[in-house]
Structure formats: C-alpha cells, structure tokens
Structure 1
C-alpha cells in the first residue's frame, strides 16, 4: 500500500511542476485533465469514498494498537512498525481522499 501511495505523491508533485511552468507539456496536460474531468464526476467521488473507507480502517487499526499497548504497559517492536506504517498510510490516504472528493 505504501509504495502505491508514494507513487501517487510523486505523480502529484510532477503534475504540479508541469503546471507551474509555461511549457508545451503544460498545454497538453491541461487538455488531458479537461477531457478526464468532463462527465467523470461520479468516478472521482467513488475513488475518494473508497480511499476514505480504507482510511477509516487504518485509523481503527491505529486505535487498536494503541489500546493494546496501554493494556500491556508498553509497545513491542512489531506493533511499533505496524503503527508507523498505518500512520504513514493514513496521512497519505487522508490527503488523497480530500483531493479526490474536491475534484
């Protein structure tokens, strides 16, 4: 999951850089984005809702790990790795779910 989300971040940064400078590629990207968004509203909101559901699942897993660490009095290394992975996934998914629902 994390490599896919990192790939999305890199694609978004690339898109921002292409749109920032006036190049022939910018005109092509603007044309493609215009065609993609034309009549495709429900698809983008479906992607956003799917990301939001996966985000809620990840947040639930974070809460479970934290609850388990409070019961035992400490966090073991496996839970620590899982917790950091879920936090990274949640932050990236939260950003992209907001992005897709605002399109």
Structure 2
C-alpha cells in the first residue's frame, strides 16, 4: 500500500512540475486535462477519492486504537510501535494524496 501511495504522489509531482514550466509537454498535459474534464473523468476521480478517504478513516481509527491500548497498558509494545509508525506513514501519504486531489480538481476541473 505504501509503495502505491508513493507512486501516486510521484505522478502528481510530475504533473505539477510539467504544468509549472512552459514547454511542449505542458500543452499536451493541458489537452489531456481538457479531455479528462469531459466524459467520465470527474466521476472516476470522485470514486477514487471516496475510497481513499474511507481507507484513510480506517487507518486513523486503527492508530487511535493502538494509542489507546498502549496508554491503558502503561508501556509501549515494540510490535505496536512498528505498526503505529507504519499506519502513520500510510495516513500521512493518504492525507497528502487527498489534499492534492481536492486542490487539483477544484482548480482545474471546477467540480
């Protein structure tokens, strides 16, 4: 899951860099975004964003459960500490992905 989130963020970074500088690839990217505005693009993006949001909520819930369990026990279990770090990484990547999706599509697609 983490590798997928890193791949999506690197693709978003590439699109942002392409749109930032005037070059021939930018014109192609604008045409692709224009085609995405029509058709099923917005519906697909909304579906993906909803799915990521639900998984994000589940990850936050798991983080809170692990934190509460460690606070009740009074000591930190090393296994739970590793799981907590993994879930925090996933949650931060999903949060960044959701932020980028919302900013990008509210700006370019006017959803």
2:90 equivalent to 1:84:
no
Root mean square deviation of aligned Cα: 1.4
Count of residue correspondences: 103
Q: Deviations over 1:39-71 (max 9, x none)?
A: 322211111110100000000100110011011
Give the C-alpha shift of residue 101 in structure 1: 4.4
Mapping 1:9-88, distance limit 5 Å? 9-39=9-39, 40-88=41-89
Structure 2 counterpart of 1:2? 2
TM-score normalised according to structure 1 size: 0.90
- Measured in 2, the distance between the counterparts of 1:93 and 1:38 equals 26
Gap runs ≥5 in structure 2:
106-111
The answer to whether the 8 A contact 2:49-2:101 is kept is yes
Mapping 1:88-103, distance limit 5 Å? 88-101=89-102, 103=105
- Measured in 1, the distance between the counterparts of 2:42 and 2:13 equals 23
